[in-house]
Amino acid sequence: EVQLVQSGAEVKKPGESLKISCKGSGYSFTSYWIGWVRQMPGKGLEWMGIIYPGDSDTRYSPSFQGQVTISADKSISTAYLQWSSLKASDTAMYYCARCYVVRGVILLLDYWGQGTLVTVSS
């Protein structure tokens, strides 16, 4: 059974750093892209970027380029999303999802993690 299990909720202060995780199981982790999706409180879904754990090839949405860093450790089947300096506007639910990508085009997100709630408040 394909599963993506994300790390727990975080409460941080503005300016702090953070790294959240997404551990895949039940499939070949290095053979599928992993994507990250943001959902701000009461709002819709926004694609942030994707990574191919097999070779760490990473693509970012222009809206998130330079704002976050996506990485992966294929030895432990885990992808990461990190911030170097959080802002209050980073408060949101973050989902990871397994992506089916062909020639650089994301065709679908078929399995999703349960989400990690990040709250940034002074």
**Applying CB under 8 A, which residues contact another protein?**
35, 37, 44-47, 61-62, 95, 97, 105-115
> What is the closest distance, in whole angstroms, from the C-beta atom of residue 14 to another protein in the complex?
24
Taking the least distance from each CB to another protein, the nearer of 17 and 25 is 25
Taking the least distance from each CB to another protein, the nearer of 28 and 114 is 114
Q: Tokens representing 76?
A: 């432990």
Query: Looking at this protein, which amino acid is placed at residue 25?
Result: S
DSSP states along 82-103: EESS--GGG-EEEEEEEEEEET
Taking the least distance from each CB to another protein, the nearer of 13 and 43 is 43
Contacts of 81 (CB under 8 A, 6+ apart): 19, 20, 22, 36, 48, 68, 69, 70, 94, 96
User: From CA 74, how far away is CA 95, in angstroms rounded?
Assistant: 19
> What is the closest distance, in whole angstroms, from the C-beta atom of residue 115 to another protein in the complex?
5
Taking the least distance from each CB to another protein, the nearer of 35 and 53 is 35
> What is the closest distance, in whole angstroms, from the C-beta atom of residue 60 to another protein in the complex?
9
> What is the closest distance, in whole angstroms, from the C-beta atom of residue 50 to another protein in the complex?
8
Residue 96: Cβ within 10 Å count: 33
